[in-house]
Amino acid sequence: MSKEIRLGIIMNGVTGRMGMNQHLIRSIVAIRKDGGVVLSDGRRVMPDPILVGRDKDKLARLAKTYGIERFTTDLDAALKNKDDTLFFDAATTQMRASLLKKAMAAGKDIYCEKPTAETLAVAMDLVKAAKKYGIKHGVVQDKLFLPGLQKIKMLVDSGFFGDILSVRGEFGYWVFEGDWQAAQRPSWNYRLKEGGGIILDMLCHWRYVLDNLFGEVQSVSCLGATHIPKRWDEKGKAYKADADDAAYATFQLAGGVIVQINSSWTTRVRRDDLVTFHVDGTLGSAVAGLTKCYTQARVNTPKPVWNPDIPQTIDFFQTWQEVPDNTVYPNGFRAQWEMFIRHLVEDAPFKWTLLEGAKGVQLAEAGLKSWKERRWIDLAPLKV
């Protein structure tokens, strides 16, 4: 029996920031360097990617730098190769649904970034298409694998919080306008016609985080804003930024947990990390960022007294205890890639399918509707 199994992967959109850094370099290239993905019977799966994109020179440089033999600008030709059975997409949201359907029709299994589509109807159409073609499918849910949120999950599973009461999330940072200092995010993020907007981008993330850690999202109230109406693109040309660059959302979860999350590309950071989650429960509280997590148990909670006439005597930051790193946390994107590859080859469990991706689109769509209609929106269960 052969000890190594080849997995041909058509990787589309890997010249972009996320596709290149997280999916290509830190996931597939790293897996190849370490000898492949180990299966339960000891065999290894070796990814054999072909890089696909519009810029041949960029593809050639990437391939040469990371020891990848194959690249092409002809996606249709790549899809015809029966030896490449998995299609991965990390390109633009606007093109994703049509590309995924084309790949499904070619008999390819699917793994992709989120959002899977711009509307719930299209996202559910992808779910139905996957069922029709009988292919395996998965959607990236990377934040579940962050060390900080892994520690939160451990606390939830251990019963540390008691009954969870509420969660407060703060995400974002100042993205420069692009005039006197280059922006850290691409300009399409701020154009509605190009699929931009922080609600579509981030509420897809918050859906799977909340569903998997604290309870299924049942309803949402969301207010969006375009705080910076003028920005400058990658060529230094001014443009109208008409997409939402901030979102202020409240969620009600199954079981009664209340969640508030601010998402903003127009805020300056004064907190532990670029994203933080503050969880309050009857027996304890925790605050987690990307990697670190701090706890305060009921028995260790200080007893402040409100008195605005004297300086505060309690250093509140010092009353929390850090959760230790008792395990090694791998790159989250790589960890999920390895799970999905095992799912493909030996049918190992994998729950983050296109239906889970559609739930994220559902929440984003509901958030936009809530903003437009200025009311709470209830989420109906999704059925195939």
- Give the global pTM: 0.94
* CB count in 10 Å sphere of residue 36: 20
* Predicted local confidence at residue 92, as pLDDT: 86
DSSP category for residue 380 = P
Same fold, 4-142+332-353 and 144-326+362-373: no
How would CATH label the architecture of 4-142+332-353?
3-Layer(aba) Sandwich (3.40)
Topology of domain 144-326+362-373, per CATH? Dihydrodipicolinate Reductase; domain 2 (3.30.360)
Cβ within 8 Å of residue 163, ≥6 positions away: 281, 282, 283
Cβ within 8 Å of residue 347, ≥6 positions away: none
* CB count in 10 Å sphere of residue 325: 12
Q: How many CA within 13 A on the CB side of residue 378?
A: 3
**Residue ranges of the domains in the chain?**
4-142+332-353, 144-326+362-373
* pLDDT tens column, 253-288: 999 999 999 999 999 999 999 999 999 999 999 999
* Predicted local confidence at residue 2, as pLDDT: 62
* Predicted local confidence at residue 242, as pLDDT: 98
* pLDDT tens column, 282-327: 999 999 999 999 999 999 999 999 999 999 999 999 999 999 999 9
Partners of residue 246 on adjacent β-strands:
225, 264
Residues in the chain where the model's pLDDT stays below 50:
none
Q: Which two tokens stand for residue 262?
A: 């601010």
Burial 121-142 (b: 16+ CB within 10 A, else e): ebbbbbbebbeebebbbbbbbb
